């Protein structure tokens, strides 16, 4: 089978550097990949259990980082694959792409947050409620199917998947890891919190400044929940945040300032969306997106099918946030699209 990203190359920057007791960090620098220039993986090695165990926080993707961070971690403490688990923060290929490899080596199970699998009904409802289908037709099907993960998981991956409830706990060595649902970067995104050590394994949760996150499902309130979760994280007085594509953050002052900058970026964009909606009558998310990009050369029409869908899904999240705050009203039009207007 050919490579998905033949242009991408990577170099090992750091391999299994200990950053806290029982916790190891690996970093891989990536070239020619649009969405990231590095991948950071974290591994907990539990040598108090008998037999020894390992927990991978995300597993990376062979084309971006190989499998050496996984293999070498187990070799270091002579841990068998049968005693290895993974926690997948979200299902983007740079985070879960090596799952098939891990399972093929003998890993029996992995954990994740509240994944919603692809269905035709889910695809069609997203395209209808946003007005994408009414405006663009069936050309949007492949884009929606890709972003919703159609045919994403092999049967053996699904067999070993365990969806954990919010606030469930995993214990490794002296780490008591609490699952926190944090939708935003992906609908199923979840983090691991160690309250006593004031550590957060954040995946991509606090990576994204505005414009930000796609909403794929009606009533998911993804931007509202994302911003609420950022505000909640500030109350935890965290000492360490380990992320997937950048250096770790340390001390509450640095962490909270970083979070504040993300929140502020959304505040600015939401203010602009309010100003735009005050100039429009009832519009769908797609129509609002066309209006938003009218000032750009070529407008929304000049962009690819995928980018038209992506940008509409982001505006969809903004509009529903403004409904949640009472600035906008929303109802279902005769054609099945949500129509938004100032309340």
User: Does 51 sit behind a cis peptide bond, omega within 30 degrees of 0 on the bond before it?
Assistant: yes
Above 80 in pLDDT, residue 210? Answer: no
Global pTM? 0.92
Answer yes or no: are the C-beta atoms of 315 and 280 closer than 8 Å.
no
**Percentage of the chain exceeding pLDDT 70:** 98
Residues 75-88 have a mean pLDDT of 94
Above 80 in pLDDT, residue 209? Answer: no
- The angle, 0 to 180 degrees and rounded to 10, between the axes of the packed helices 222-234 and 305-324 is 70
CA distance 243 to 339: 37
Closest CA to 233 of 269, 257, 266, 268: 257
Tally of helices (H runs) and strands (E runs) in the chain: 12, 15
Express each pLDDT in 180-200 by its tens digit. Answer: 999 888 889 999 999 999 999
Closest CA to 206 of 165, 239, 248: 248
Above 80 in pLDDT, residue 250? Answer: yes
Express each pLDDT in 25-47 by its tens digit. Answer: 999 999 988 778 899 999 999 98
Instruction: For residue 1, name the pLDDT band (cuts at 50, 70, 90).
Output: very low
CATH architecture for residues 9-117+153-263: 4-Layer Sandwich (3.60)
Could you state, in order of their start, the residue ranges of all structural domains in the chain? 9-117+153-263, 118-152+278-343
Six-digit token string for 301: 């029409």
Instruction: For residue 153, name the pLDDT band (cuts at 50, 70, 90).
Output: confident
User: What confidence score (pLDDT) does residue 219 get?
Assistant: 86
CA distance 255 to 176: 21
Instruction: For residue 274, name the pLDDT band (cuts at 50, 70, 90).
Output: very high
User: What confidence score (pLDDT) does residue 151 get?
Assistant: 84
Six-digit token string for 200: 């957060």
Task: Specify the CATH class of 118-152+278-343 in words.
Answer: mainly alpha
Q: Which long-range contacts (CB under 8 A, 24 or more apart) does 225-229 make?
A: 225/182, 225/183, 225/184, 226/182, 226/183, 226/184, 227/263, 227/266, 227/321, 229/180, 229/181, 229/182, 229/183, 229/184, 229/205
Residues 90-103 have a mean pLDDT of 92
Answer yes or no: are the C-beta atoms of 72 and 15 closer than 8 Å.
yes
Express each pLDDT in 42-77 by its tens digit. Answer: 999 998 888 999 999 999 999 888 898 999 999 988
Nearby residues of 272 by Cβ (< 8 Å), 6 or more positions away: none
Six-digit token string for 283: 């519009």
**Percentage of the chain exceeding pLDDT 90:** 79
Q: What would the 3-class secondary structure string for 13-40 be? A: EEEEEEEECCEEEEEEEEECCCCCCEEE
User: What confidence score (pLDDT) does residue 110 get?
Assistant: 97
Closest CA to 244 of 38, 15, 19, 40: 40
């Amino acid at each position: 089978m050919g490579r998905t990203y033949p242009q991408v190359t990577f170099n090992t920057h750091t391999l299994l550097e200990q950053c806290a007791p029982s916790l190891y960090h690996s970093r891989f620098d990536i070239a020619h990949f649009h969405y990231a220039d590095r991948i950071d993986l974290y591994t907990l090695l539990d040598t108090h259990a008998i037999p020894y165990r390992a927990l991978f926080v995300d597993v990376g993707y062979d084309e971006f980082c190989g499998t050496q961070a996984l293999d070498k971690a187990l070799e270091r403490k002579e841990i068998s694959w049968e005693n290895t688990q993974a926690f997948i923060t979200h299902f983007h290929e740079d985070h879960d792409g090596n799952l098939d490899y891990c399972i093929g080596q003998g890993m029996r199970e992995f954990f994740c947050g509240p994944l919603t699998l692809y269905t035709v009904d889910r695809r069609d409802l997203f395209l209808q409620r946003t007005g994408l289908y009414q405006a663009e037709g069936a050309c949007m099907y492949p884009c929606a199917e890709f972003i919703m993960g159609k045919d994403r998981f092999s049967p053996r991956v699904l067999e070993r998947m365990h969806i954990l409830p919010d606030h469930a706990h995993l214990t490794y060595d002296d780490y008591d890891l609490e699952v926190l649902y944090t939708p935003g970067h992906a609908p199923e995104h979840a983090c691991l919190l160690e309250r006593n050590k004031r550590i957060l394994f954040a995946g991509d949760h606090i990576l994204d400044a505005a414009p930000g996150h796609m909403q794929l499902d009606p009533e998911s309130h993804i931007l509202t929940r994302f911003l609420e979760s950022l505000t909640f994280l500030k109350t935890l007085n965290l000492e360490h945040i380990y992320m997937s594509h950048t250096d770790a953050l340390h001390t509450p002052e640095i962490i909270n300032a970083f979070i504040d900058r993300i929140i502020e970026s959304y505040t600015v964009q939401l203010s602009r969306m309010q100003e735009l909606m005050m100039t429009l009558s009832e519009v769908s998310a797609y129509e609002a997106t066309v209006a938003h990009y009218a000032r750009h050369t070529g407008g929304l029409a000049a962009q690819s099918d995928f980018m038209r869908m992506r940008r509409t899904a982001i505006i969809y999240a903004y509009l529903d946030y403004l409904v949640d705050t009472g600035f906008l009203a929303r109802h279902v039009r005769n054609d099945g699209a949500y129509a938004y207007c100032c309340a």
